[in-house]
């Protein structure tokens, strides 16, 4: 079946612009995660959605970052007023509901470059 | 705060060798531990997941062990092949929190 998909695969933007990154999780997966992978910081958690529960936003680095998940499926990560330090690969993952297998399945990522 | 360390950072071996990748974590209150593989420019592929109550998991030539009390996991790769060349990441899920904390990875090169 189809895996996690993300779009765009690459995004180049100018400092100060807003960007939106999209994630389509695996069908039936109620949990959705965003991570960021950068050269200096490795792979770090950003935000987690589980069904209709309030999201865990504890990993968001600043209030310029936000995410939403509409209809319990597609998620959009928005970065406002982008800075050069936001350049990274943004990875999305999904998993089955808590209590079953917790394996997280990752998408190919969006490479964001802020000039 | 959970911290995950992987040793070595890079490893180069000839084809056919058995090898061990190491992962350590500072807080033993984990829910599970996962090993992932990442190929250049690609996302992560889950290899093995070990629940906190388990000691090991096996898949083909891969075997992962978990010693929760000492905060250690190892990934054993038998009879390595050039196609095993990739970065291997260890990640833990803490009890009560769904986010994964990742190590910095071991970059493996298997020479033909």
pLDDT tens-digit readout, A3-30: 999 999 999 999 999 999 999 999 989 8
* Interchain CB contact of B101 with A (< 8 Å): yes
B25 burial class (0-12, 13-18, 19+ CB within 10 angstroms)?
buried
B22-69 pLDDT, tens digit each: 999 999 999 999 999 999 888 899 999 999 999 999 999 999 999 999
A57-80 pLDDT, tens digit each: 999 999 999 999 987 789 999 999
Q: Give the best residue of B2, B42, B98, B102 to mutate against chain A (max A CB count within 10 A).
A: B98
The torsion angle over the Cα atoms of residues B74, B79, B85 and B89, rounded to 10 degrees, is -10
* Interchain CB contact of B70 with A (< 8 Å): no
CA distance A115 to A84: 6
CA A89-B43-A59 angle, 5° bins? 50
Judged against a pLDDT cut of 60, whether residue A1 lies above it is answered with no
Question: Which residue in the block uniquely carries the two structure tokens 């493996």?
Answer: B108
What is chain A's mean pLDDT, rounded? 91
**Which residues of B fall within a CB distance of 8 Å from A97?**
none
């Amino acid at each position: 079946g189809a895996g996690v998909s993300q779009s765009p695969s690459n995004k180049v933007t100018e400092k100060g612009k807003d960007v939106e990154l999209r994630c389509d999780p695996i069908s039936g997966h109620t949990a959705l995660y965003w991570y960021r992978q950068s050269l200096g910081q490795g792979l770090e958690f950003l935000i987690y959605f589980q069904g209709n529960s309030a999201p865990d936003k504890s990993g968001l680095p600043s209030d310029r970052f936000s995410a939403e998940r509409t209809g319990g499926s597609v998620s959009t990560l928005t970065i406002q007023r982008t800075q050069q330090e936001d350049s990274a690969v943004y990875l999305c993952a999904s998993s089955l509901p808590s209590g079953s297998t917790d394996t997280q399945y990752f998408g190919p990522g969006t490479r964001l470059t802020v000039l | 705060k959970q911290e995950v360390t992987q040793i070595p950072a890079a490893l180069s071996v000839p084809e056919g060798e058995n090898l061990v990748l190491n992962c350590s974590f500072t807080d033993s209150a984990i829910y599970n531990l996962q090993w992932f593989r990442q190929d250049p420019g690609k996302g992560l592929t889950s290899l093995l997941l070990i629940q906190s109550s388990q000691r090991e998991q096996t898949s083909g030539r891969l075997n992962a062990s978990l010693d929760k009390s000492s905060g250690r996991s190892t990934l054993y790769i038998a009879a390595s092949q050039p196609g095993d060349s990739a970065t291997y990441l260890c990640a833990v899920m803490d009890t009560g929190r769904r986010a994964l904390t990742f190590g910095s990875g071991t970059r493996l090169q298997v020479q033909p």
